[in-house]
Amino acid sequence: MKLKMILFFCLGFLLVGCQSYRTERFPWSVGQSRDTETQTQHSMRAAVLLPLSGKSSSIGEAFRNSSMMALQEQKGSPMELMFFDTKGTADGTIEAWHNARAQYPDIVIGPVFAAELQALKSESPHVPVLSFTTDHSLMNRDVYSLGILIPNQIEHLVHHMCESGQNRLAVIGPEDKTGELTMNVLSDTVARCPGMTVDKVSLYAPDTTNFNQAVLKIVPKPVDTRKKELTEEEQEILKTPIEERLEFDALFIFEDGIKLQQITSLLAYYDVTPKVVPFYGLANWQTTKDRGLIGGYFAATGPEKAERFNARYQSVFGNKPPRIASLGYDAVSLTAALAKHRALTRDNLTQEQGFSGVNGRFRLKDDGMNERLLTIYQIGPGLRPIPVSPAPSQFSDSSSLFGAPIQANTVIPKSEISGSF
């Protein structure tokens, strides 16, 4: 294994590290091009900004490995990768960019974190940036995100709800930047499904630790059965199944980790579970350990290419990469493909048909955001994600997504949805 890794890196440095430095920049404007002689003599240079030291160094190392893999597999691409250490900090990123700028890069790949990207933008790099952060507020027509973005996930989830006939939506989550984005996207997307409305909303302060009041804003007020005598109304409530008392038929929860587990536990206490009403969440649910989410849905990239990428990576480096490292592979792959054709322009980066990568097909948008073709998963017994609605085969106008034919969905029977698995 060690010999294989040494050979891999030796070959990598022959392809990447030993090409001569250039003194001119690859054109970054639509319609410009270099003359044939210049194109033949020089490669395209990518400055890769990663946290190669500090507390996030393991992530940076995985990104570097996946980047090298991508260049190895793009045979014949006239491209150089130059790695610079951001140390995972804003100051480290500025230092890394100053070092990179001296080498006249044509494009920046990275950084990984939002604070790093904010620091890089303050330096006005004037070259395209393919970043990995999902902070939408940092994107623009020259700064792109390759992350799995929330608006893209929400659109696919609402489409699935619409197809399934779930027209009354309840929402619960933190009232922060993510919450604001989520509610804005939900409002726009729900409006495209005829008859769908957001009927219940419960947003709580980000530092909330007791979620009881937040949950009670969307679920029916429980009857206190400890009372000696119940009113006729209370007796009637107890006779009515919980699903008939809910004022919604789908529940979207944009939360994760321990807070998500606290919310689902409270919902279960009030008899609201995925067995009663479908739960929907973001892609971070795919690694959940919360059995209260069995039966819930989320949208994410398909696993097939990712599994093959993981196997190739592990065969070379001896360990499985973090899922996010595959974004580094995709960034280098698309850049190397453009380098082959001397085609690094804004029009080509945002081409309508997009690019096919480890995480499926994706395309970059003029505003720096991206669009991906996502699969809908349901969390099955044993917390195993089960694909229930395949990703669309091609991109289309977002408004037409809701006019697409309803696909046959494989859904876990309610009898198998339980927190006891």
Same domain membership, residue 276 and residue 383: yes
Cβ-based burial of 308 (10 A; exposed 0-12, middle 13-18, buried ≥19) = exposed
Same domain membership, residue 177 and residue 291: yes
Q: Residue 111: is the preceding peptide bond cis (ω within 30°)?
A: yes
CA pair distance 96, 87, nearest whole angstrom: 9
Q: In this predicted structure, what is the pLDDT of residue 220? A: 86
What total number of domains does the chain contain? Answer: 2
Same domain membership, residue 155 and residue 268: yes
Same domain membership, residue 52 and residue 166: no
Per-residue pLDDT tens digits for 83-107: 999 999 999 999 999 999 999 999 9
**38 lies in some domain:** yes
The whole-model pTM stands at 0.80
**421 lies in some domain:** no
Same domain membership, residue 336 and residue 240: no
Same domain membership, residue 75 and residue 65: yes
CA pair distance 401, 109, nearest whole angstrom: 31
Same domain membership, residue 110 and residue 69: yes
Q: Which residues contact 55 (CB under 8 A, 6 or more apart)?
A: 88
Q: In this predicted structure, what is the pLDDT of residue 234? A: 64
**190 lies in some domain:** yes
Q: In this predicted structure, what is the pLDDT of residue 139? A: 95
Q: In this predicted structure, what is the pLDDT of residue 74? A: 85
Same domain membership, residue 380 and residue 290: yes
The Cα angle at residue 383 between residues 378 and 386, in degrees rounded to 5: 35
CA pair distance 302, 374, nearest whole angstrom: 7
Q: In this predicted structure, what is the pLDDT of residue 237? A: 67
**342 lies in some domain:** yes
Per-residue pLDDT tens digits for 169-182: 999 999 998 899 99
Query: In which residue ranges of the chain is pLDDT below 70?
Result: 1-42, 223-228, 230, 232-235, 237-239, 397-421
User: In this structure, what CATH number is given to the domain that contains residue 100?
Assistant: 3.40.50.2300
Structural domain including 267 reads 150-300+374-416
CA pair distance 333, 344, nearest whole angstrom: 13
CA pair distance 380, 296, nearest whole angstrom: 8
Looking at the DSSP bridge assignments, the partners of residue 48 are 83, 109
CA pair distance 192, 376, nearest whole angstrom: 19
